[in-house]
Amino acid sequence: MDGREPEYNGKSHEKYGRLYAWEDAIDACPRDWRLPGEDDWNDLVAAVGDSATAGTKLKAARDWDKDKKDYVVGTDDYGFAALPAGVSHVNGNNVRIFINNGAFFWTATEHESGRAIRFVMHYEKEVVESSRSNKDKWLSVRCIKD
């Protein structure tokens, strides 16, 4: 990790964790742990039911119901306790910004040279979604034991 930190808009690193560019995320896990791949995430989602409701089951039971009434609060049925740490990226004006619209997690799975697969839980949805993301975005990391 190169020590860069996004603007967290008052959010605590101790509570929400750090955000990483993909290259840093690959090396973020401690010894005997690793960044999960797309298949690992798919196995997790399948183990808790399916992608349609996995977001609710994996979200923490707190901090998902801030300012809007249509937010889906988590039940944390499996102790995963995902928190909405948000995402940081460089905008069209070449300024790094922070957007807090859910929990975004890197996988170790590259899609193409500048992109990798991420899994997302949004405030207003029960689902867990996967998509491709530019590797220079800063997202959360969850490590799994080898």
For 94, residues 6+ apart whose C-beta sits below 8 A from its C-beta are none
Q: Does the residue 8 lie in any domain?
A: no
Identify how many contiguous H helices and E strands the chain contains and give both numbers: 4, 7
Residue type, 32: D
Q: What are the φ and ψ backbone dihedral angles of 92, each rounded to 5 degrees?
A: -65, -20
Distance CA 107, CA 71 (A): 25
Q: What domain count does the chain have?
A: 1
112 has pLDDT over 90: no
User: Global pTM?
Assistant: 0.89
Q: Is residue 12 part of a domain?
A: no
123 within domain boundaries: yes
User: Distance between CA atoms of 97 and 71, rounded to whole angstroms?
Assistant: 23
Q: Containing domain of residue 111, as a range?
A: 17-145
> Does residue 5 form part of some domain?
no
Total residue count of the chain as it appears in this document: 146
DSSP code at position 39: H
Structure tokens belonging to residue 34: 């690793």
Q: Could you tell me if residue 10 is inside a domain?
A: no
At 18-52, the pLDDT tens digits run: 899 999 999 999 999 999 999 999 999 999 999 99
- Two tokens at 127? 């689902």
Distance of CA 21 to the CA centre of its chain: 12
The whole-number pLDDT of residue 12 equals 63
Report if residue 11 sits inside a domain. no
Does residue 74 or residue 9 have the better pLDDT? 74
Enumerate the β-bridge partners of residue 20. Answer: 139
pLDDT digits (tens, 9 = 90+) for 8-24: 555 567 788 889 999 99
Q: Is residue 57 part of a domain?
A: yes
Confidence at residue 7, expressed as pLDDT on a 0 to 100 scale: 44
- Among the residue ranges 22-31, 52-61, 88-97, the one predicted with the least confidence is 88-97
In a domain, 7, yes or no: no
